[in-house]
Chains A and B, each alone.
Chain A
């Protein structure tokens, strides 16, 4: 009986599976008209409904609908003149990029998580993210309407709109508390001390994650991006990622529907910030989507004590070899829970810290575009112009964006090249970052190898370059000094 039932279920011609239905290109009435703004023609949806298929949701940006159909219905749908393409929706279990913790020893964490961005200088400049609207996509925001950490948001009407996509309602102050913690890393307040960098920013809170029927979450993410754009968002902050349950590693090249929506959001002027994921120690290891998209500012995590990549933070690059993460931030933070505060770990919390920083930068340069802000954040990374696939350009620090006198005696590196050997000598006080970083890149800038070494001032290191490809480039960073050399091996 069970067997018969199973065979019945596995009859793929009858079984219902979720599909993306992409429609033929919309007719653009005037050349200057924005095709993303045109809704999907009502008659397309009507045709599908008339076939007895219920449409789960649509996206005007991606010009598609999500449906649940059998194999037979799939063949009929494919033959419709309005249908351009059918694409299966993979089994989805999205991952909230967070690892819980029950530490009760808060220590200096609250100061630490902000000081990496040079908070005193941000405060001195009076930057609070004022006038910047941030949309947060998450699993729920329980306690936000009652927690003292967020009282100022309600007193000053800073929550502009909320939407619960799975339930089609405006009620978001329940479900998974992950969103509460994320919000606190942008705008929380613990007994007068901020836990994020943008206390005066405005917020759009969207619940896109759920427990049951998880494959719908991708559609909710896309719809939330459209909703955010409609409500005037400047920044999308998403600590979500889709990885091995639904994709193969080689597909992490920014081609997923969610990544495509992130790209369109970026085209529309929104800065999309997404966590890179917590798979650094797992078999997956690389970014999930939409953090794989070039247009998304992907955020990795560092240990706030050492400044080095947190072991769980995923590594770059994406499947096309493009640099990820773009920047990093502390991934061990003090964040708000439903009714208190807790130490939490995860790239989920590094992401809103960067979103708060981005809001401050944008407040400082309101004339700039989202791409300019993206570049500026990378430029302000504490490792810049050095980069690697563990730290990106490092933690963004505001001093790099403010005209300050250059520190004297910054030359901490002496580099000699001699017959296939590079001798590196460190000297002086390295400051905040006492490690020696070096990478080897090809002529296009793609990294072939990178290392971080714990050294002491005065140490000498030899790098054997005989095996390295001719004309590849070595970049070495120590203290505040970065030096580059091109390898010219005799052929």
Chain B
């Protein structure tokens, strides 16, 4: 009985000590299967087909009296796109992309708002969400290159479909107001903003980094009561995420 107990204690000690015994495992350090497939890959930055992501950051440029006066720094856009390229020749390709965009247009503070009638606001901006599509003809200057994007110019068109719109303004309280200091007003689903927009688009790129420019041909503001339109020029930088 005593010896059984002793054996039991030994067994427990062995179980507890087991993880402390150094392992003698056989570790595979290198394992390779060489590929002799002579078939040329059809997918890649300078192959027949290419698919990749693009991130755009842009600014609205408001030139001229017919456009809503806006702050360049406060007015920006973000876009995330998936882009497909079909190579036609070493120098030419067709490119299409689709994605979503968010645009923010910040009005110059304390000026007469072209949207809110004769009122001026402490802060005021428009926030628009679009689903976006672009189609380009790509001209590659360095046609003779390896498997990378190279230096190119994309010339094409864009078409945007609205997903949502907001008009936001912040006002300081009137002097006699007792219960609040500032008020924020958000108006959604704006009926005076166009549901579709289109225009020209250009990209000038050095491999994964591009400068992009868009010129909107369609009017953005539809109401006759609003005297100024959304800026038509947009300039920004794009970054291609290529694996």
How many A residues face the partner with a CB closer than 8 A? 45
| Count of inter-chain pairs, beta carbons less than 8 A | 97
A contact residues around B2 at 8 Å (CB)? none
| Most central of A6, A17, A390, A452 by chain B CB within 10 Å | A6
B65 to nearest A CB, angstroms? Answer: 23
Q: Are A12 and B91 in contact (CB under 8 A)?
A: yes
One of B27, B143, B150 near A454 (C-beta < 8 A): B27
A423 at the B interface (CB under 8 A): no
One of A90, A317, A451, A454 near B34 (C-beta < 8 A): A317
Q: Are A308 and B26 in contact (CB under 8 A)?
A: no
B175 at the A interface (CB under 8 A): no
Interface residues of B, dominant DSSP = loop
Q: Are A15 and B33 in contact (CB under 8 A)?
A: no
A289 to nearest B CB, angstroms? Answer: 11
Q: Are B34 and A389 in contact (CB under 8 A)?
A: yes
Bitwise, B148-165 to A at CB < 8 A (1) or not (0) is 101001000000000000
Residue of A nearest to B144 (CB): A88
B contact residues around A10 at 8 Å (CB)? 139, 141, 153
Q: Are B32 and A389 in contact (CB under 8 A)?
A: yes
- In the bound complex, what is the Cα–Cα distance between A456 and B25 (angstroms)? 9
Bitwise, A394-437 to B at CB < 8 A (1) or not (0) is 00000000000000000000000000000000000000000100
A243 to nearest B CB, angstroms? Answer: 8
Q: Are A91 and B144 in contact (CB under 8 A)?
A: yes
A contact residues around B38 at 8 Å (CB)? 250
B24 at the A interface (CB under 8 A): yes
A448 at the B interface (CB under 8 A): yes
- In the bound complex, what is the Cα–Cα distance between A447 and B29 (angstroms)? 18
In the complex with contacts A89-B144, A91-B142, A308-B34 CB distance below 8 A:
no
B contact residues around A39 at 8 Å (CB)? none
A78 to nearest B CB, angstroms? Answer: 16
A contact residues around B144 at 8 Å (CB)? 17, 88-91
Residue of A nearest to B46 (CB): A248
B177 at the A interface (CB under 8 A): no
Q: Are B146 and A451 in contact (CB under 8 A)?
A: no
- In the bound complex, what is the Cα–Cα distance between A244 and B213 (angstroms)? 30
B119 at the A interface (CB under 8 A): no
A216 to nearest B CB, angstroms? Answer: 15
A contact residues around B26 at 8 Å (CB)? 453-456, 459, 461
Report the interface size class on chain B. Answer: 20 to 34
Bitwise, B30-53 to A at CB < 8 A (1) or not (0) is 111110101010000010000000
In the complex with contacts A6-B204, A89-B144, A245-B148, A452-B30 CB distance below 8 A:
yes
In the complex with contacts A2-B204, A447-B34, A448-B34, A245-B28 CB distance below 8 A:
no
A contact residues around B243 at 8 Å (CB)? 283
A3 at the B interface (CB under 8 A): yes
B contact residues around A388 at 8 Å (CB)? 30, 32
In the complex with contacts A10-B153, A308-B29, A454-B27, A446-B146 CB distance below 8 A:
no
B contact residues around A246 at 8 Å (CB)? 145-146
B contact residues around A88 at 8 Å (CB)? 143-144
B202 at the A interface (CB under 8 A): yes
A contact residues around B34 at 8 Å (CB)? 315-317, 321, 389, 446-450
- In the bound complex, what is the Cα–Cα distance between A226 and B29 (angstroms)? 42
- In the bound complex, what is the Cα–Cα distance between A249 and B41 (angstroms)? 10
A contact residues around B31 at 8 Å (CB)? 449-452
A contact residues around B147 at 8 Å (CB)? 244, 248-249
B144 to nearest A CB, angstroms? Answer: 4
- In the bound complex, what is the Cα–Cα distance between A449 and B30 (angstroms)? 10
Which residues 285-310 in A have Cβ within 8 Å of B in the complex?
308-309
A contact residues around B142 at 8 Å (CB)? 91
Q: Are A91 and B150 in contact (CB under 8 A)?
A: yes
| Most central of B27, B31, B34, B91 by chain A CB within 10 Å | B34
A contact residues around B27 at 8 Å (CB)? 453-454
A247 at the B interface (CB under 8 A): yes
A28 at the B interface (CB under 8 A): no
B contact residues around A449 at 8 Å (CB)? 31-34
Q: Are A244 and B148 in contact (CB under 8 A)?
A: yes
- In the bound complex, what is the Cα–Cα distance between A12 and B153 (angstroms)? 13
Which residues 145-197 in B have Cβ within 8 Å of A in the complex?
145-148, 150, 153
B contact residues around A453 at 8 Å (CB)? 26-29
A contact residues around B148 at 8 Å (CB)? 244-245
Residue of B nearest to A458 (CB): B24
Which residues 316-336 in A have Cβ within 8 Å of B in the complex?
316-317, 321
Bitwise, A86-121 to B at CB < 8 A (1) or not (0) is 001111000000000000000000000000000000
| Most central of B28, B31, B144, B148 by chain A CB within 10 Å | B144
- In the bound complex, what is the Cα–Cα distance between A390 and B30 (angstroms)? 9
- In the bound complex, what is the Cα–Cα distance between A449 and B28 (angstroms)? 13
- In the bound complex, what is the Cα–Cα distance between A452 and B144 (angstroms)? 40
A contact residues around B30 at 8 Å (CB)? 308-309, 388, 390, 450-452
A7 at the B interface (CB under 8 A): yes
Q: Are A3 and B202 in contact (CB under 8 A)?
A: yes
Residue of A nearest to B24 (CB): A456
- In the bound complex, what is the Cα–Cα distance between A456 and B147 (angstroms)? 44
- In the bound complex, what is the Cα–Cα distance between A243 and B147 (angstroms)? 10
- In the bound complex, what is the Cα–Cα distance between A449 and B34 (angstroms)? 7
Give the 7 A-B CB pairs with smallest separation, nearest first.
Answer: A88-B144, A452-B30, A454-B27, A10-B139, A91-B145, A452-B29, A244-B146
Using a CB–CB cutoff of 8 Å, the interface residues on chain B facing chain A are 24, 26-34, 36, 38, 40, 46, 91, 139, 141-148, 150, 153, 202, 204, 213, 243
What are 30 contact pairs spanning A and B, CB under 8 A?
A: A7-B139, A7-B153, A9-B141, A12-B141, A17-B144, A88-B143, A90-B145, A243-B146, A244-B147, A244-B148, A248-B46, A250-B40, A308-B30, A315-B32, A315-B34, A317-B34, A389-B32, A435-B29, A448-B34, A449-B32, A450-B31, A451-B28, A451-B31, A452-B29, A453-B26, A454-B26, A454-B29, A456-B26, A459-B24, A459-B26
